[in-house]
Amino acid sequence: MSTSVDTGRARAWGWVAHLRAGGTTPWLAWTAADAPDLGRFLPGAQQLELLRRLNLAGRPGAALVDRVVNASAPGRGRPDLELVGVDEARRFGPPAVDPAALPDEELLRVATGLLAAGLVERRGSAVKPGDPQHVRDARRRPRRIRTRYQLAGDPWLSAAHTTALVADGRPPGGGGRSVHVLGAAVPTMLAHTWAVGAFGTGTPSWPDFLARVRARRRLPLRVDLPGVVERFRARPHTGRVGVVLDLDALPRLVGVRRLDAVPDVPAHATELARQVGLALGLYVLPAEQTDLLGSVLRPRLERVSGMLPEVPPEHRDWVEDAAFAMRQRLLRAGYPVVGDPDVILAGWAGPDAGAEPGSSPLDLAIELLLEEA
Amino acid sequence: MSRKVLLHVGTPKTGTSYLQDVLFRNREVLAAAGIAYPASRHDSHFLAALDLMQLPWGGLQAEAIGAWDDLAGQVREAFAAGMTTAIISHEILATASRVQIGRALSSLGHGDGVEVHLVLSVRDLVRQIPAEWQENVKHRAQLGYGAFLDQITDPERGTRIGAWFWGVQEVPDILDRWGQDLPPDHIQVVTVPPPGGAPELLWKRFSQAFGLDGIDLDLEGERHNPSLGVPETTLLRRINRKTNAELPPADYRPLVRELLAHQTLSRRTASPRLALPPDLHPWVQELSASWIAEVEARGYDVIGDLGDLVGAPPVAEYADPDRPRERQVAAAAVDAITALLLDNARLRHDTERLHAELAEARGALERAHATPSYRVRRALVVRLEGGRAGRALLGLYRRARGRSSRSA
């Protein structure tokens, strides 16, 4: 005699088979109850709903389907959840759920774990121009005649421009080098600093990042432009140290004809990278985490459209004050500045107001998983 | 020859630190008795658990990469070397998912000739609930006791704290997940005796569960997880609120958790103790009764008494950590400041000593550099580096000399 639990389980296994075959019917609309058990235990509601979303967005391959169904979400959060209606008599464990009602974050935990595992599998893939290995190769062949320079300031801009110059045979450094401290609007520099952490060894979420900067009552050291100038001036073997706020002038300062603009990664894509990084840190050491995020994930995410993270209204007062104070310190100290010092000031139209609003980190994660498959 | 893995998966705050310390320090004695406790450091099984469960933990996860497979490999090696029993113990394993449990059992040889026996040590919720909040505070949590209780009493368990608490504390669910592929007689539930009992009673129960009776073990361990009182926990929570933005995990562990919490504040034993609020006792009693009935019905091997899970009655004078006596918190803060000052003084003395050693080394270096020939060479290099032709000449010299260093 079959019990209600047997019926519920048969219905659930039927839904699993439906999803494995590419189905998109939500759990609550699934009524067929004629499937045998396909495993020792039912996959979690998070995994099954992620598979349904993948099916809605494309055609995941069999390998990806297996990986999703057998995944465990990394990090702390809710455990693998049961489907509502399978075992009404169950008295212990977390409450069963309607998978369609799960918040995006629960599905994203599973998805970022899979993306991180995918990045690990792609270790050792071919070296492409711009890759760290390529850069290391290029570093071995510096040009004989080149301008001595070093870039500092905004970490996103300075690292990307330095990488490009190194790839062109122009490594930084040398006695008497000029130091160019790159700057932008303070909200943009904050977003860039956060992005460097997200594609590096980790950073808090954007709201937590801002809250921490505010609690410290000082801007991150790398974007405190007068502070950076002062530190470099105190170093031996350093030539002229100045702030560059007009990036069009940078090629001339470093002795090249042109430098490509550094692409930004929109807020939702950076948040995805941050969460993939959290999961990636469970598989590889920090240096390799930075390498994989920067050389494999970032080039893909640079093609995503959307806006940089915005400073929410509750933080705007102190960001405005910090920007104004920085501008005043630069002018008062009389440091050489290329460009208009007012560039530093915060404006709230959004750093990239013309761009389309982005999709969610989960939508983007699903897109990447389907591309991987 | 039968091979057996005793897998102790929790729960937290049940004397696990002491047990693990005894097992670690007595590895060689155990090995002589045919029992392997494969660990190269105190926290080897903790790292393995982090790896198995893919949990980040304040930067420690980098040290945990591959740790579970290493541990499982050591268990297999121990069996190959003739041992008959291996013990693995860590309390956070309680919260593993079914997929992770499947991987763990399979890697230990379950279904391939190895008997896996599960051990779960349990303690009444009357003590576990305040202890878990305190443990959260010692891991940088900023939330008050009331907020913590709200989260764990929410039936949705939708928050991280609620999900974690029940993941490591809900005894029937833990046994359900971990015991899914194990026969009930391979599952042992060890109860922690009620407060006020003989201190060695818990060890006797562990000893019975792990088959350690008759082995001459050194039980004088120092590692334990001391508890804090109400004003001390409140102070720690306030410190977390002030310092979390600035103090990295690597500094928090030695300074706040070790120096302040474990070495200083836990010694203040006269302050009011944390307790379960009296109004939650009926709910806890009902829950505990359902757990006891469930464990009894499943037919597990119980070492101790399931009645231990009922817990003590409400305390006569409940001290609310969210409304502490400020004089008591201030007194705890003075002790904390004193400890920090003394530690700072010790570090200052260390710094002064190191400065003196550095000055002595510099002096020796300067004396070596003061020779006439060194001065001449140095002046020559400085002069050559000032011009392009000179630098080229220096480059030629260095290549000929066969050194890549730029120094003279």
pLDDT in tens, B228-262: 999 999 999 999 999 988 888 889 999 999 999 99
Q: At which residue do the structure tokens 């704290």 appear?
A: B161
pLDDT tens by residue, A244-297: 999 999 999 999 999 999 999 999 999 999 999 999 999 999 999 999 999 999
Q: At which residue do the structure tokens 């959307």 appear?
A: A306
Query: What span, in angstroms and rounded, lies between the C-alpha atoms of A85 and A14?
Result: 14
Q: At which residue do the structure tokens 């896996």 appear?
A: B116
Q: At which residue do the structure tokens 């107001």 appear?
A: A353
- How far apart are the CA of B90 and the nearest CA of chain A, in angstroms? 17
Name the nearest CA neighbour of A46 among A23, A17, A74: A74
Query: Quick one: tokens of A298?
Result: 């970032």
Query: Quick one: tokens of B212?
Result: 């350690």
Provide the residue type at A3 as one letter: T
DSSP 8-state symbol, A100 = G
Name the nearest CA neighbour of B23 among B89, B117, B72: B89
- pLDDT for A132 equals 54
Return the exposure string of B60-98: e unless at least 16 CB atoms fall within 10 Å of the residue's CB, then b: bbbebbebbebbbebbbebbeeebebbbbbbbbbbbbbb
Name the β-bridge partners of A337. A243
Q: At which residue do the structure tokens 């598989």 appear?
A: A283
* CB proximity B287 to A under 8 Å: no
- Chain A residues 152-211 with CB within 8 Å of chain B: 175, 211
pLDDT of A299 higher than 70: yes
- How far apart are the CA of A363 and the nearest CA of chain B, in angstroms? 22
Report chain A residues whose CB lies below 8 A from the CB of B65: 282-285
Q: Average pLDDT of B281-302?
A: 96
pLDDT tens by residue, B113-136: 999 999 999 999 999 999 999 999
Name the nearest CA neighbour of B262 among B231, B230, B232: B232
From the number of C-beta atoms within 10 Å of its C-beta (0-12, 13-18, 19+), residue A16 rates as buried
Query: What span, in angstroms and rounded, lies between the C-alpha atoms of A170 and B240?
Result: 46
Query: Between A and B, how many residue pairs show a Cβ–Cβ distance under 8 A?
Result: 82
Q: Of the candidates A41, A72, A91, which has its C-beta nearest B54's C-beta?
A: A72
- How far apart are the CA of B222 and the nearest CA of chain A, in angstroms? 30
- pLDDT for A33 equals 73
Name the nearest CA neighbour of B126 among B259, B278, B256: B278
Report chain A residues whose CB lies below 8 A from the CB of B94: none
Q: Of the candidates A91, A92, A283, which has its C-beta nearest B65's C-beta?
A: A283
pLDDT of B107 higher than 60: yes
ipTM for the assembly: 0.83
* pTM assigned to the model: 0.86
- pLDDT for B2 equals 84
Chain A, nearest residue to B246 by Cα? A216
Considering chain B, what percentage of its residues have pLDDT values greater than 70? 97
Q: At which residue do the structure tokens 């393995």 appear?
A: B48
CB atoms within 10 A of CB B206: 24
From the number of C-beta atoms within 10 Å of its C-beta (0-12, 13-18, 19+), residue A167 rates as middle
Name the β-bridge partners of B88. B7
Q: What are phi and psi of B190, to 5 degrees?
A: -105, 120
Name the nearest CA neighbour of A7 among A98, A104, A83: A83
Write the CB contacts of A211 (distance below 8 Å, at least 6 apart in sequence).
A315, B245
Strands A337-338 and B3-8: unpaired
Name the nearest CA neighbour of B5 among B53, B75, B96: B75
B170:A278 CB<8 A: no
Q: Average pLDDT of B192-212?
A: 92
- How far apart are the CA of B390 and the nearest CA of chain A, in angstroms? 14
Question: Helices B44-53 and B98-107: crossing angle, nearest 10°?
Answer: 130
B176:A93 CB<8 A: yes
Q: At which residue do the structure tokens 């918040």 appear?
A: A103
Chain B, nearest residue to A42 by Cα? B98
- pLDDT for A126 equals 43
User: Is it true that the peptide bond before B153 is cis, omega within 30 degrees of 0?
Assistant: no
pLDDT of A155 higher than 90: yes
Write the CB contacts of B332 (distance below 8 Å, at least 6 apart in sequence).
B229, B231, B232, B235, B265, B268, B271
Sign of torsion over alpha carbons B367, B370, B371, B375: positive
pLDDT of A138 higher than 60: no
pLDDT of A130 higher than 90: no
- pLDDT for B407 equals 47
pLDDT of A129 higher than 70: no
Do you know the residue count of chain A? 373
3-state secondary structure chain B: CCEEEEEECCCCCCCHHHHHHHHHHCHHHHHHCCEECCCCCCCHHHHHHHHHHCCCCCCCHHHHCCHHHHHHHHHHHHHHCCCCEEEEECHHHHHCCHHHHHHHHHHCCECCCEEEEEEEEECCHHHHHHHHHHHHHHCCCCCCHHHHHHHHHCCCCCCHHHHHHHHHHCHHHHHHHHCCCCCHHHEEEEECCCCCCCCHHHHHHHHHHCCCCCCCCCCCCCCCCCCCEHHHHHHHHHHHHHHCCCCCHHHHHHHHHHHHHHCCHHHCCCCCECCCCHHHHHHHHHHHHHHHHHHHHHCCEEECCHHHHHCCCCCCCCCCCCCCCHHHHHHHHHHHHHHHHHHHHHHHHHHHHHHHHHHHHHHHHHHHHCCHHHHHHHHHHHHHHCCHHHHHHHHHHHHHHCCCCCCC
Count of CA atoms in the C-beta half-sphere (13 A) of B95: 27
| Residue B262: C-alpha distances to residues A37, B12, B229 (Å) | 50, 17, 12
Chain B, nearest residue to A287 by Cα? B62
Provide the residue type at A87 as one letter: D
Question: Residue B5 in contact with residue B71, Cβ under 8 Å?
Answer: no
Q: Of the candidates B97, B164, B170, which has its C-beta nearest A80's C-beta?
A: B97
Between B60 and A314, name the one with better pLDDT. Answer: A314
- pLDDT for B1 equals 66
pLDDT tens by residue, A179-238: 999 999 999 999 999 999 999 999 999 999 999 999 888 999 999 999 999 999 998 888
Considering chain A, what percentage of its residues have pLDDT values greater than 90? 76
Question: Residue B84 in contact with residue B3, Cβ under 8 Å?
Answer: yes
Q: Of the candidates A41, A75, A283, which has its C-beta nearest B180's C-beta?
A: A41
Sign of torsion over alpha carbons B46, B50, B51, B52: positive
The model's confidence at residue A90, banded by pLDDT at 50, 70 and 90, is: confident
Query: What span, in angstroms and rounded, lies between the C-alpha atoms of A34 and A37?
Result: 10
- pLDDT for A159 equals 97
pLDDT of B392 higher than 80: yes
- Chain A residues 99-128 with CB within 8 Å of chain B: 113
From the number of C-beta atoms within 10 Å of its C-beta (0-12, 13-18, 19+), residue B315 rates as middle
B245:A93 CB<8 A: no
Report chain B residues whose CB lies below 8 A from the CB of A175: 385
B54:A113 CB<8 A: yes
A92:B160 CB<8 A: no
Chain A, nearest residue to B54 by Cα? A74
pLDDT of B94 higher than 90: yes
- pLDDT for A140 equals 54
Query: What span, in angstroms and rounded, lies between the C-alpha atoms of A194 and A209?
Result: 7
B61:A281 CB<8 A: yes
Between B367 and B270, name the one with better pLDDT. Answer: B270
Query: Quick one: tokens of B65?
Result: 């990469």
Q: Please give the helix or strand (H or E) that residue A152 lies within, else none.
A: strand A149-153
- pLDDT for A350 equals 52
Question: Residue A178 in contact with residue A204, Cβ under 8 Å?
Answer: no
Averaged confidence pLDDT in chain A: 90
| DSSP notation for A10-38 | HHHHHHHHHHHTT----GGG-----PPP-
* CB proximity B297 to A under 8 Å: no
Name the nearest CA neighbour of B117 among B51, B35, B199, B52: B35
Q: What are phi and psi of B232, to 5 degrees?
A: -70, -40
B157:A95 CB<8 A: yes
Name the nearest CA neighbour of B18 among B187, B172, B217, B195: B217
Highest mean pLDDT: which range of A296-310, A347-361, B212-226: A296-310
Query: What span, in angstroms and rounded, lies between the C-alpha atoms of B42 and B40?
Result: 7
pLDDT tens by residue, B36-47: 999 999 999 999
Considering chain A, what percentage of its residues have pLDDT values greater than 70? 91
A77:B160 CB<8 A: yes
The model's confidence at residue B408, banded by pLDDT at 50, 70 and 90, is: very low
pLDDT tens by residue, B372-385: 888 888 888 888 87
- How far apart are the CA of A217 and the nearest CA of chain B, in angstroms? 11
Considering chain B, what percentage of its residues have pLDDT values greater than 90? 79
- Chain A residues 273-302 with CB within 8 Å of chain B: 278-279, 281-286
Q: Average pLDDT of A152-166?
A: 97
For the ranges A129-133, B68-72, B392-396, the lowest mean pLDDT is seen at A129-133
Name the β-bridge partners of A184. none
DSSP 8-state symbol, A310 = P
A91:B290 CB<8 A: yes
- pLDDT for B198 equals 83
pLDDT of B58 higher than 50: yes
Provide the residue type at A20 as one letter: R
Of B99, B122, B242, which to mutate for an interface test with A (greatest number of A Cβ within 10 Å)? B99
pLDDT of A135 higher than 80: no
Helix (H, G, I), strand (E, B) or coil at A179: strand
